[in-house]
Chain A
């Protein structure tokens, strides 16, 4: 095949090669899918009824990330956040207890809403108890911590090739350590994500990320960022990410952040 003449039929052939060896899900499950649709429909009806009730009561509860802070952003370098943004939830309170003293005020937020004013993308599977995003308000600035569980029945590629993924996302630095139990901790600094970081209307502060690749499969990821300014910002950047690297490492080792099936 000529280098400069990859034409549609050949492209299709190449794409087909990417599918080779991929196990297609077995048939069935259609009833489960329709059942899921029915659940979604009944949940929507319930939510609608709830909203109507709340409006009647005159006390509509807004979602995480809607509270205070407004457009935020820096102005003459002076802190503007006087009230921590986000929702004071039981989960946020419990999560705060896992963090070292002095990290800041922890509130739960929806990053989808914060960044794009969109409703949260529903997760289809189970997640850990602390899965979610948290705004960290400290010294008038707002940073974020995110906790994410990914399930997999077997180790993901990063477990065997940390910091060495052929398709790895761009990050300034990456290092890793193998734990005695076989898990791998991968540290990235100043991660940049196409979807997030290339929005020039937002400017991100320092970004730390630890990914714990579990030997038994799946991952735990904790992101730790000094926040962002610009469009939809909730406030000025923190001087540094909420957690230091060693604090972040310690948090990633906390089994409470894992799903039960991951422990």
Chain B
């Protein structure tokens, strides 16, 4: 009975948070297919972990941490060449309307995985420096320096984008 209730809660969590996780995953990966894979992989880990430990508290933080760490671990993998394989945009005719978006994606791709993760956690997920540091298991000073690098990349987008921003 307890297990069934836990499974229901897990189902609800997965269904409810999948889209939000996908958006973060896309910012990390820059590729829709890979973002979907990342979310799937992370959620499978969350499901397994939640069942193994019998813990359903703070699934949100657990999922976020799993997603980001899975991304970083995957990026270390030798064959992950995310930057070269970005898809041709879906609607080429609309490119001019979203030059900024493309530039942001390019800027993100130019960051290291950890810098990207910090940028997404700090400014997309709106986590504090301390929470980001804890989630990524790094020092707060490191988070700050990664964030500074990410902000510099965003400033470059603004600089190049001019009136688009």
State whether these chains interact.
yes
| Chain A residues packing against B (C-beta within 8 Å) | 1, 3-4, 6, 8, 10-12, 14-15, 17-25, 27, 30, 33-34, 36-37, 40-41, 111-112, 115-116, 118, 121, 124-125, 133, 146, 148, 150-152, 154-160, 165-169, 193-196, 211, 219, 221
A221-B101 CB under 8 A given contacts A15-B120, A121-B73: no
When the two chains form their complex, are residues B104 and A14 in contact, meaning their CB atoms are under 8 A apart? yes
* B33 interface residue (CB < 8 Å to A): yes
Selected contact of B85 from candidates A6, A121, A150, CB within 8 Å: A150
- What residues of chain A lie closer than 8 Å to B74, measured between beta carbons? 121
When the two chains form their complex, are residues A36 and B44 in contact, meaning their CB atoms are under 8 A apart? yes
**In the docked arrangement, what's the CA distance between A158 and B31, Å?**
13
**In the docked arrangement, what's the CA distance between A23 and B77, Å?**
27
5 A-B pairs (CB sep. < 8 Å) = A12-B126, A21-B90, A36-B40, A148-B79, A211-B84
- What residues of chain B lie closer than 8 Å to A166, measured between beta carbons? 102, 106
A167-B11 CB under 8 A given contacts A21-B89, A24-B23: no
Q: A23-B90, A150-B85 are in contact. List 4 more A-B contacts (CB 8 A).
A: A6-B155, A22-B32, A155-B88, A166-B102
B47 to chain A, nearest CB (A): 4
B79, B98, B155 interface centre (most CB from chain A within 10 Å):
B79
- What residues of chain B lie closer than 8 Å to A19, measured between beta carbons? 23, 26-27, 101
- What residues of chain B lie closer than 8 Å to A6, measured between beta carbons? 151, 154-155, 158
A14-B83 CB under 8 A given contacts A40-B48, A157-B88: no
A124-B84 CB under 8 A given contacts A30-B14, A146-B78, A166-B106: no
- What residues of chain B lie closer than 8 Å to A148, measured between beta carbons? 79
B42 to chain A, nearest CB (A): 10
- What residues of chain A lie closer than 8 Å to B75, measured between beta carbons? 195
**In the docked arrangement, what's the CA distance between A230 and B18, Å?**
42
Count of chain B residues with Cβ under 8 Å from any Cβ of A? Answer: 68
Selected contact of A160 from candidates B81, B88, B112, B155, CB within 8 Å: B88
When the two chains form their complex, are residues B79 and A156 in contact, meaning their CB atoms are under 8 A apart? no
A17-B98 CB under 8 A given contacts A1-B158, A155-B88, A160-B88: yes
**In the docked arrangement, what's the CA distance between A247 and B79, Å?**
21
When the two chains form their complex, are residues A11 and B119 in contact, meaning their CB atoms are under 8 A apart? yes
* B76 interface residue (CB < 8 Å to A): yes
- What residues of chain A lie closer than 8 Å to B105, measured between beta carbons? 18, 167
A101 to chain B, nearest CB (A): 27
A33-B81 CB under 8 A given contacts A152-B33, A157-B88, A165-B86: no
**In the docked arrangement, what's the CA distance between A111 and B30, Å?**
24
A167-B110 CB under 8 A given contacts A12-B126, A146-B79, A150-B85: yes
**In the docked arrangement, what's the CA distance between A12 and B100, Å?**
13
